[in-house]
Amino acid sequence: MNGRVASTMVEIATIPELPEVETGIMAVTQPTKAATFELRRWLYILTMPISWLLTFWVMAKKTICRRLGKPDPHINTFWFDGLGLSNRAIKVGAASWKALDIIYNHPFGQKKSVGGFIDDFWIGMMNAQAVRNRLKLVKQEIRRAILNFSNHQEVRLLSLAAGSAQGVIEVMAELKSQGIRVRALLLDIDQTALDYAKQLASQYGVADQIEIVKASVAQVIRVSQYFRPQVIEMLGLLDYIPQDKAIRLVGKIRESLETKGIFLTCNICHNPEMHFLKWVINWAMIYRTPAELSEIVTKAGFEDHRLIYEPLKIHGLVIAQKR
């Protein structure tokens, strides 16, 4: 599966290990079933001057508005959220499950209009490719983590900041067809995310294996007391939490896991599109190097962990095990 960069102990995923499972309902959200990671760099490297120009333009507009004591512009630029309606929805929902849902499942090439072309272009940018790669990688590693416990009567998975839980639900549906029973507890502070996840679970035929809880991740120890998770995943949240707070939270997560339990989490890494994300998409995040990401799990008390990056090396996934 992986090429290993020995000195930093970072693995780079090359081919997703996606099993061929036909369930009929899989077609509902098909893109994650593609058998390769996305790696279209050149178009976005060659057009980088355009994205920088747009970034500077939006930066200037916002600076002027703020100096004049006015709110930020309703539309950042005609060439992103002006013409692109899906881009606009991503900007409005930045950092939420709704924005990720659009990026995960965008139907490329279906809208034959200028707006459709603009949506396709930006939802194809390297960061969006990397987010879809992350979903594929996460599914692969969640599946592997669950299979670690497949000799148990059932495997209990806790999804923190679950959002739509698309990856978890798709893996549960695959494994159900192979006779492996997974119970999942989905935790999020946003009830709309939990409602959407429930609906998705019904489409995939696993609604009876899912419970939802509207709570903060800070409640992880309390929630785990009765659920006793063997696998905990928390994706798309560390990117918003400062280092010390992240270490304390991951420490609580470790405490909540059963012995030999597995924890999966991820973080975005510095990349050339990060300023575009902040200014044009209104999506600010905490960018971490592999060493900073590793430090969180190590200082939280995990003795063993692996660090895998998707091929664009923008999103890194940590898989840690409690001894």
Ligand X SMILES: C[S@@+](CC[C@H](N)C(=O)[O-])C[C@H]1O[C@@H](n2cnc3c(N)ncnc32)[C@H](O)[C@@H]1O
Candidates 97, 122, 204, 309; binder of ligand X (CB under 6 A) is 97
Q: How far is CA 37 from CA 177, 206, 271, 313, in A?
A: 25, 26, 18, 12
Question: Residue 189, interface with ligand X (CB under 6 A)?
Answer: yes
Measured distance CA(102)–CA(266) in Å, rounded? 20
Structure tokens at 53: 């120009």
Instruction: Considering only residues 105 through 164, tell me which ones interact with ligand X, judged by CB under 6 A.
Output: 161-163
Question: Residue 102, interface with ligand X (CB under 6 A)?
Answer: no
Question: Residue 217, interface with ligand X (CB under 6 A)?
Answer: yes
Measured distance CA(98)–CA(90) in Å, rounded? 7
In this complex, which beta carbon is closest to ligand X, that of residue 63 or of residue 216?
216
In this complex, which beta carbon is closest to ligand X, that of residue 97 or of residue 302?
97
Closest CA to 16 of 128, 109, 134: 134
Candidates 23, 25, 96, 124; binder of ligand X (CB under 6 A) is 96
Question: Residue 236, interface with ligand X (CB under 6 A)?
Answer: yes
Candidates 23, 57, 190, 306; binder of ligand X (CB under 6 A) is 190
Question: Residue 216, interface with ligand X (CB under 6 A)?
Answer: yes
Contact 316, 309 (CB under 8 A): yes
Pick the piece of the chain touching ligand X (CB under 6 A) from 25-33, 65-73, 78-86, 229-237: 229-237
In this complex, which beta carbon is closest to ligand X, that of residue 126 or of residue 138?
138
Structure tokens at 266: 């991820």
In this complex, which beta carbon is closest to ligand X, that of residue 116 or of residue 254?
254
Residue 41 Cβ, how far from ligand X at the closest point, in Å? Answer: 23
Residue 104 Cβ, how far from ligand X at the closest point, in Å? Answer: 7
Residues 102, 181, 307, 41, Cα dihedral to 10°: -30
Contact 129, 103 (CB under 8 A): no
Sequence-distant (6+) residues with CB within 8 A of 187 are 158, 159, 160, 161, 162, 212, 213, 214, 215, 217, 219, 220, 223
Residues found near ligand X in the complex (CB under 6 A): 95-97, 100, 161-163, 188-190, 193, 216-217, 235-237
